[in-house]
Amino acid sequence: MDAGIETAGASRPLGQDIANAGLFFRRWLANPLQMGSIVPSSPALCRRVVAHTKAAEDQIVVELGAGTGVVSRALLESGLKPERLFVVEIVPDMADHLRQAFPGINVIQGDARRLPQLIPQHYHGRIGTVIVGIPLVLLPLAEQRRFIDAIEGVAPGLGFILYSYCITSPLPWKKHGLRPKREAWTPMNIPPASVWRYVPEAKDRQT
Ligand SMILES: C[S@@+](CC[C@H](N)C(=O)[O-])C[C@H]1O[C@@H](n2cnc3c(N)ncnc32)[C@H](O)[C@@H]1O
């Protein structure tokens, strides 16, 4: 992770059973579209997500669709202080699991499409990175738009990173007015996965 994240979690005992593959698989059986994957992301993919996550000292990191917390764990192990991590997870059982597994992080059980209502106002505009683990590629354009607008509502102009199994862009970026960049790829995931960054075009032109 980028500079600005203090090392605080180095001695933190983060259990090996965090991934909770059983819970993940049961949720996939119950709602495959909402889960988008049968198994949690691999350590190799989590490392790549963390490598492209930035946060200055006064900023938070927001993770959407935390599942059983493999990316959350990687973020904490990289030194992100628990209180600066906000995870949003729609499934109550998974949110409970996250609370138990990672004391001190901010677990919000809710629908990420309502992000502006879920993230305390105080932190709007003070977000270093938004990480999207929700399988947006499986959604129709208008539904994707709701997530993108929700992110824009709390982090204007920032954009987000999204990991996906698609070889090409998982989002129709032109239609959404986004500029895409494939930041990383790993074959060490089932299936192989990429980390994409999307930035609103207007903001991108200024930088
Ligand atoms: C592919 S899994 C990713 C889980 C985990 N981040 C990982 O990498 O293994 C997608 C997660 O997004 C959650 N999710 C789906 N729709 C959501 C929504 N509208 N709001 C919040 N979470 C959602 C699912 O419950 C699931 O846990």
What fold is seen in the domain 21-206?
Rossmann fold (3.40.50)
Residue 188 confidence (pLDDT): 84
- pTM higher than the cut 0.85: yes
User: Helix-strand-coil percent breakdown of the chain, rounded to 5?
Assistant: 40, 20, 40
| 100 Cβ contact partners less than 8 Å away, ≥ 6 residues apart | none
Distance, CA of 16 to chain centre: 20
Nearest-CA residue for atom 9 of ligand 1: 40
Atom of ligand 1 at shortest distance to CA of 72? Answer: 6
Residue to mutate, 35, 70, 147, ligand 1, most ligand atoms under 8 Å from C-beta: 35
pLDDT single digits (tens) 114-137:
999 999 999 999 999 999 999 999
pLDDT single digits (tens) 55-91:
999 999 999 999 999 999 999 999 999 999 999 999 9
- pLDDT less than 50: residues of the chain: 3-13, 15-16, 207
Judge if the upstream peptide bond of residue 191 is cis by omega within 30 degrees of 0. yes
Residue 39 confidence (pLDDT): 80
Rounded-to-integer distance, Cα 78 and Cα 10, Å: 8
Domain ranges, ordered by start, for the chain: 21-206
Evaluate: CB of 71 within 6 angstroms of ligand 1.
Answer: yes
Nearest-CA residue for atom 14 of ligand 1: 65
Reading the block at residue 194, the tokens are 């990429």
